[in-house]
Amino acid sequence: MTPPAAPALLGQFWGLVNGLTGYFAVLAADELGVFGALAEGGPAGVDELAARCGAVPSRLRAVLGGNAAAGTLECRAGVFSLAPLAAAHLVAGQPGYLGPLLRHSPGPFENWPELASTVRGAAPPRDVGRDAGAHAGEAGHAGEPPDAGEPPDAGEPPDDFLAALVRATFPVQLAVARAVVGDLCDDGRLGEGAPVRVLDLGAGAAPWSVAVLERLPAARALVNDLPAVLPLARDELAARGLAARAAWREGSYFDVPLPDGDCDLVVLGHVCRAEGDDGAAALVARAAAAVAPGGSLVVTEYLLDDDLAGPAQAQLLGTTMAASTQRGGTFTHAEVRRWLAAAGLELERDDVPVPPTAVVVARRP
């Protein structure tokens, strides 16, 4: 006979079971406009809020309860109001809004029920790496699993999903980039009046190029990404009046020609985890070859502690990568430091300036 579980353990168990429920309750509230309605019209009861959102009161009551349990809403005497998390990041149209990240960061939903099969070696139903066009290209690189065929047609078209994910991650990555670029300028690593040369590999919407070009009027950036992504970087830089100081290099960062040892700053921002151990090491080596003497290579990632005990963001993101890619995963700080040292660079910094993003900076002597 199985002994009864301790109440605390049962509570922990139900927390696991209900994690999915909480996520989708928040997602539904975002899509229904609940957070915006509360921000605009103030606290409200179920019936009033249902009228504001065009929802069925009895159905909305369930979603509101799920959000109260998830910590995005507060409820007192049947009146709901925004919790600090929702007020800061879930009100559409506000500067801190992260609704797109909420929707796209977990990857394609159809991959999750097949996680165990993917871990056994099967291709995920929708491989985000393949959808992106794969920086490794059709031939792949060392450590890549064999071609598993075309992904099925499901959900958003590949380019739409990738573009949405890139846009969703931009605000968070820009905050990190601005903080680190500010530190590099304050430390004298990047000269305020110098013609700094930046290479932004796998740039996405180019938050690092934006941060450098905003801070340093004489800087210029070479921005690289895949054909489906590079227009997003062009648009972001153009919207900020920075495009005239940028050049573009379309294609895989494994294959496109790169400057030979004359860049003051090279950035690998949240791209190594898509490439697996061998691919990430090769990418770091290729990026390092573009760094000029005295220049720096910046690697940003959600990194694991060296003993694998945390942090939770890196652990869970590793699971997401396992669900939605064939070779992606998260790495430890020590692994990244080892790749940088093997590429002939000297470690300058390894910390978490804007949690949970880790930043590792190494310099060419």
Instruction: Say if residues 184 and 177 touch (Cβ distance below 8 Å).
Output: no
Q: Are residues 252 and 328 in the same domain?
A: yes
22-26, 113-117, 190-194: which range is least confident on average? 190-194
Instruction: Say if residues 204 and 172 touch (Cβ distance below 8 Å).
Output: no
Q: Are residues 93 and 169 in the same domain?
A: no
Please report which confidence band the pLDDT of residue 192 belongs to, taking 50, 70 and 90 as the band edges: confident
| CA distances to 4, 228, 243 from 1, in Å | 9, 57, 69
| CA nearest to 135, candidates 339, 346, 280, 344 | 280
Q: Within a domain: residue 27?
A: yes
Q: Within a domain: residue 279?
A: yes
Instruction: Say if residues 208 and 182 touch (Cβ distance below 8 Å).
Output: no
Q: Within a domain: residue 280?
A: yes
Residue 136 has pLDDT above 60, yes or no: no
Task: Decide which of 97, 127, 146 is a domain's last residue.
Answer: 97
Give per-residue pLDDT as tens, 43-66: 999 999 999 999 999 999 999 999
Q: Within a domain: residue 348?
A: yes
Determine the longest span between alpha carbons in the chain, in angstroms.
Answer: 75
Q: Is 41 exposed, middle or buried (0-12, 13-18, 19+ CB in 10 A)?
A: exposed
Q: Within a domain: residue 241?
A: yes
The pLDDT of residue 153 is 39
Instruction: Say if residues 301 and 331 touch (Cβ distance below 8 Å).
Output: yes
Predicted TM-score (pTM) of this structure: 0.86
Helices (H), strands (E): how many in the chain? 15, 9
| CA nearest to 265, candidates 249, 243, 282, 287 | 287
Task: Decide which of 97, 114, 132 is a domain's last residue.
Answer: 97
| CA nearest to 291, candidates 211, 198, 183 | 198
The pLDDT of residue 329 is 92
Q: Are residues 221 and 344 in the same domain?
A: yes
Q: Are residues 57 and 201 in the same domain?
A: no
Instruction: Say if residues 330 and 320 touch (Cβ distance below 8 Å).
Output: no
Task: Decide which of 97, 115, 131 is a domain's last residue.
Answer: 97
| CA nearest to 209, candidates 218, 201, 200, 217 | 200
For residue 186, the domain's CATH number is 3.40.50.150
The pLDDT mean for the chain works out to 90
Q: Are residues 70 and 192 in the same domain?
A: no
The pLDDT of residue 4 is 65
Q: Within a domain: residue 121?
A: no
Q: Are residues 193 and 280 in the same domain?
A: yes
Q: Are residues 212 and 330 in the same domain?
A: yes
Domain containing 21: what range? 7-97
What is the CA 251 to chain-centroid distance, rounded?
Answer: 20
Q: Are residues 221 and 350 in the same domain?
A: yes
Give per-residue pLDDT as tens, 283-298: 999 999 999 999 999 9
The total number of structural domains that make up the chain: 2
Instruction: Say if residues 337 and 350 touch (Cβ distance below 8 Å).
Output: yes
Task: Tell me the C-alpha distance between 329 and 70, whole Å.
Answer: 27
| CA nearest to 255, candidates 136, 138, 131 | 136
For residue 33, the domain's CATH number is 1.10.10.10
Place of tokens 């909480």: 22
Give per-residue pLDDT as tens, 239-260: 999 999 999 999 999 999 999 9
Give per-residue pLDDT as tens, 261-283: 999 999 999 999 999 999 999 99
The pLDDT of residue 128 is 83
